[in-house]
Amino acid sequence: MDAPRIVLGVIGADCHSVGNKILEAFFAEAGFHVVNLGVMVSQDEFLDAAIESNADAIFVSSLYGHGLIDCEGLREKAVERGLDKIVLYVGGNLVVGKTPFEEVERRFKEMGFDRVFRPTVDLAEVADLLRRDLEALKKD
Amino acid sequence: MDSKLLLSVDIGSTYAKGGLFALEGEELRLVAREVRPTTVDDLARVFGEVREAVLAGRTGGLPASGIPVYWSSSARGGLKIAAVGLTPDLTLSVARMAATSAGGKVVRAFSYELSAEDLAELRSVEPDIILFTGGTDGGNSRVVLHNAAALAGLDSPAVILYAGNRKVRERVVGILGDRAAATADNVMPEVGTIDIEPAREVIRRIFLERIVDGKGLSSVVAAVGREPLPTPLAVFELVRTIAERVPGWEEFALIDMGGATTDFYSHAKSFRGGGSVILRGLLEPTLKRTVEGDLGLRVSAEALFRSEAAFLEGRLRESGRGIEGLKAYVAEVSRGTEYLPDDEEGRGYDHLLAAACVRAAALRHAGILQRVFTPQGGFLVQRGKDLRQVRRLIGSGGYLAAATDPAILLEACAPRSDDPDTRHLVPGSPACYADAQYLIPLLGNLAADFPGAAARAAVAGLKPLTPGRLEKEPS
């Protein structure tokens, strides 16, 4: 089987680039085909890249606390543009303040994200989850 | 000194130009040049007339057939390319770049799945080549295979060049079946990676092998024993050669404005980076050509009047005039495309239209820099190409070649954005030059075989328009 294809990027007006480079290095090493869009990526740029590269998943990072507003509508737009099966993951410091993670997770899942991660998550765990999610999709 | 004569001819859609050059050691010297009107139905005759006029009494007893001929043509619509891509901002945008860099004019562009309506339109614009792209290597194949099937059934003599997702290339060729098809490496193998050279090379070959005949040029090929270049490709290669071979010319731009189109060529590093500048979108190539089909002084005057109405109206208002007089002038010159004004008013209108072409062509070719405020502070976001380091600017084509003042070319540098946080990345304050003898395409024809000599002769043949900056290097 071909390597799973993922599109990475930091959404919105967010310029945090260190974590993004770590994600790229980790997932490439872990056997994924990585398309890294870097920082300050718009929703359409994520979707264009996913369409052209036939991506299995989009990993959205957000570190500056404005994740909710930046990510809103991404799932709907993906469906509208024909990416109705794409896996959407999001992670980072998603909202400003001391909102409990469970609350943050619930809101992002409502917006159509398949999985939501804390900034402290072990990336090996993310890789395993993605492989599993993609397997499950194939069986559908 | 040993001297060898070379003839270069460019058959344009309205005029055919010829130049006789003497190759003396490492240098090319212009011996004579002539211009004749093009009669589109018999290009071989036009070619013969130009050759005869240029050679008259200058061959030193050599028969005309003993003088090597290099030539280009943009007659009969030039090289018409329809671009097919997947998403407008990625593969389609790169396909356009490949087509214009190969000397073509993009007559129509399509993204996503081709519909029946798209196919009807594709047929009606009568392209010479359909540049078919989409998907990164190993990426999207669904839309690409759909479009292959759609194109397989298209009733059009156009050559299809597939330069999309390499993983499905064989399947695409299989689907296209008996259709005239060619392939090249993917123009965008990875998201954001541009690789247009292979497609450019194949387009050049297709032009020579399959299109020259249809443009009525094969009789000329038979007579001179050499294939032509599309004129813009000759110019493109000369721009590259000048930048590589002439010190002080590493970063420059050339505007070729005609009756129908305005071409903008630049050789400059596209993105310079710097601490707080972030590039979004594609990293554009160092050597870039754009061609604007709605910017021209005659055939395209009506289209220019529509697309640049706000600018034209503003300029007229500054001098206390309304738009009506210009409107009537535009209607007149777009009918009589050979028209040359003989009064002050007409010359003024031509100057204004030329200013609009130069300005808009520069704006569309150049990128923008926007200041954005983020929680981490202010950043600058660049989109498109940075031309601020362009130190020299050449005007070519009828109107700009005749310029005696840099003002018209400096219109390329003037555009300011209405938004204080947005800046157009047009050239700063370049030294300006006119291709007064219209040697650019003629030397472009010679650039492949005599690169150093052609580049130096092209620069030496320019008329400097910026006083005080004629000889010295821009600092």
Global ipTM: 0.89
What integer pLDDT is reported at residue B468 of this predicted model? Answer: 58
Of A15, A35, A52, the CB nearest to B135: A52
Residue B223, in any domain of the structure = no
For A10-43, how does the pLDDT look when each residue is reduced to its tens digit (9 = 90+)?
999 999 999 999 999 999 999 999 999 999 999 9
Same domain, B172 and B315: no
Active site residue A33: no
For B14-53, how does the pLDDT look when each residue is reduced to its tens digit (9 = 90+)?
889 999 999 999 999 999 999 998 877 788 888 999 999 9
Q: What is the CATH number of the domain that holds A92?
A: 3.40.50.280
The tally of domains found in chain B comes to: 3
Same domain, B434 and B324: yes
Domain range spanning residue B49? 3-76
Q: Do A44 and B89 touch (CB under 8 A)?
A: yes
Cβ–Cβ < 8 Å for B423, B277: no
pLDDT above 80 (res A48):
yes
Residue B34, in any domain of the structure = yes
Indicate the average pLDDT of chain B: 92
Tokens 């057939």 sit on residue: B65
Chain B: closest CA distance from residue A124 (Å):
25
End residue of a domain, out of B26, B50, B76: B76
Mutate to test the interface with A, among B147, B283, B374 (most CBs of A within 10 A): B374
What integer pLDDT is reported at residue B420 of this predicted model? Answer: 84
Q: What percent of chain B has pLDDT over 90?
A: 76
Same domain, B63 and B85: no
End residue of a domain, out of B156, B181, B211: B211
Residue B219, in any domain of the structure = no
Please, which pLDDT band fits residue B471 given cuts at 50, 70 and 90?
Answer: very low
Chain B: closest CA distance from residue A110 (Å):
26
Same domain, B53 and B70: yes
Q: Do B191 and A49 touch (CB under 8 A)?
A: yes
**A54: which chain B residues are within 8 Å (Cβ-Cβ)?**
135-136, 138-142
Q: Which two tokens stand for residue B136?
A: 């990164």
Instruction: Name the residue in chain A with its Cα closest to that of B86.
Output: A52
Q: For residues A89 and A103, what is the distance between their CA atoms, to the nearest angstrom?
A: 16
**B188: which chain A residues are within 8 Å (Cβ-Cβ)?**
52
Q: What is the CATH number of the domain that holds B176?
A: 3.40.50.2300
- Higher pLDDT among residues B58 and B295, named by residue: B295
Residue B227, in any domain of the structure = no
3-class secondary structure, A66: strand
Q: Do B190 and A35 touch (CB under 8 A)?
A: yes
Same domain, B424 and B298: yes
Q: What is the CATH number of the domain that holds B68?
A: 3.30.420.40
Active site residue A48: no
A50-56 average pLDDT score:
97
Q: For residues B322 and B333, what is the distance between their CA atoms, to the nearest angstrom?
A: 19
Question: Is residue A132 classed exposed, middle or buried when 0-12, 13-18 and 19+ CB atoms within 10 A define those classes?
Answer: exposed
Question: Other CB atoms closer than 10 Å to residue B255's CB: what's the count?
Answer: 26
Closest by CA to B44, choosing from B68, B11, B66, B70, is B11
What integer pLDDT is reported at residue B474 of this predicted model? Answer: 45
Residue B50, in any domain of the structure = yes
Q: For residues B384 and B270, what is the distance between their CA atoms, to the nearest angstrom?
A: 8
The residues that bridge with B280 in the sheet, in sequence order, are B383
Instruction: Name the residue in chain B with its Cα closest to that of A44.
Output: B89
Same domain, B72 and B88: no
Asked if A34 is an interface residue toward chain B (Cβ–Cβ < 8 A), one would say no
What integer pLDDT is reported at residue B473 of this predicted model? Answer: 47
Same domain, B70 and B105: no
Same domain, B197 and B268: no
Same domain, B259 and B404: yes
Domain range spanning residue A35? 5-139
- Higher pLDDT among residues A129 and B258, named by residue: A129
For A90-133, how does the pLDDT look when each residue is reduced to its tens digit (9 = 90+)?
999 998 888 899 999 999 999 999 999 999 999 999 999 999 99
Same domain, B99 and B58: no
- Please report how many Cα atoms fall inside a 13 Å half-sphere around the Cα of residue B38, on the Cβ side: 21
Of B91, B135, B278, the CB nearest to A15: B278
Residue B222, in any domain of the structure = no
Q: For residues B397 and B258, what is the distance between their CA atoms, to the nearest angstrom?
A: 6
Among A126-130, B234-238, B273-277, the least confident range: B273-277
Q: For residues A76 and B43, what is the distance between their CA atoms, to the nearest angstrom?
A: 57
Q: Do A14 and B374 touch (CB under 8 A)?
A: yes
The tally of domains found in chain A comes to: 1
Same domain, B57 and B118: no
Please, which pLDDT band fits residue B470 given cuts at 50, 70 and 90?
Answer: very low
Same domain, B22 and B171: no
Q: Do A65 and B375 touch (CB under 8 A)?
A: yes
What integer pLDDT is reported at residue B185 of this predicted model? Answer: 98
